[in-house]
Amino acid sequence: MVTLDAVLGDITRQDVDAIVNAANTRMRGGGGVDGAIHRAGGPDVLRDCVARFPDGLAVGDAGWTTAGRLSARWVIHTVGPNHAAGQRDRSLLVSCYRRTLEVADELAARTIAFPLISAGIYGWPRRDAIAAAVDTILAAPTRVGEARIVAFGPDAYDEVRERLSAAGV
Ligand code: ADP
């Protein structure tokens, strides 16, 4: 079973096999964590997005690219539902975590760092975004050994810790 932890900080600084990006369907960069990952990873990340995903990705799906200059080996991009734009089907958010872990298994990644997908610009209510993240990662049939949820601020960090405690972690 996967070990799940909470970390407060910047996902681009995580020393893991795979860093997860909250991307958009075009997969050509964006704001928030997407912008931070492309800035830190450098142009190879975008080049690989264009080469491997000429048509981008569907909401709820995931796919990998190089991590460029990041210390991780891969970036796994996943597209969360845009709650602010009316995409409120929770199964799509759950699918992001499941699909990302399936891709991680294809890569034989052992350690992975997730941001809180959809909880920023896409406006998914944070407590529910955290519940979806924690519950889905813990229930996933994955060979990933260590997963961490990277919270970008102290309030989010405390809420992730609370949810982990409630889940018995
Ligand atoms: P989305 O468009 O899926 O909502 P965002 O990037 O806007 O994606 O936000 C997703 C989450 O990532 C938010 O909780 C935001 O605070 C957080 N975030 C933004 N930048 C970083 C970063 N460098 N490291 C970790 N988390 C980040």
Per-residue model confidence (pLDDT) at position 1? 82
> Residue range 21-26: average pLDDT?
98
Q: What are phi and psi of 65, to 5 degrees?
A: -140, 175
Would the pLDDT of 166 be above 90? yes
Residue 87: pLDDT band (50, 70, 90) is: very high
Residues 6+ apart with CB under 8 A from 4: 134, 137, 138, 147, 148, 149, 164, 169
> Residue range 65-76: average pLDDT?
98
34 carries an active-site annotation: yes
Q: What predicted TM-score, i.e. pTM, was given to this entire model?
A: 0.98
C-alpha 116/C-alpha 21 separation (Å) is 10
Q: Which entry of 15, 17, 34, 61 is annotated as an active-site residue?
A: 34
DSSP strand pairing (3-8 vs 74-79): unpaired
Q: Domain of 70: which CATH number?
A: 3.40.220.10
Hey, which of 148, 152, 159, 160 would you mutate to test ligand 1's pocket, going by the most ligand atoms within 8 Å of its Cβ? 152
Per-residue model confidence (pLDDT) at position 11? 98
Structural domain including 142 reads: 3-166
Cβ 107 under 6 angstroms from ligand 1: no
Tens digits of per-residue pLDDT, 42-63?
999 999 999 999 999 999 999 9
C-alpha 53/C-alpha 108 separation (Å) is 21
Per-residue model confidence (pLDDT) at position 83? 98
The answer to whether the CB of 160 falls within 8 A of the CB of 118 is no
Per-residue model confidence (pLDDT) at position 162? 98
Closest residue to atom 15 of ligand 1, CA basis: 120
Total domains, the chain: 1
Average pLDDT, the chain: 98
Cβ 33 under 6 angstroms from ligand 1: yes
Cβ 78 under 6 angstroms from ligand 1: no
Would the pLDDT of 152 be above 90? yes
C-alpha 53/C-alpha 133 separation (Å) is 25
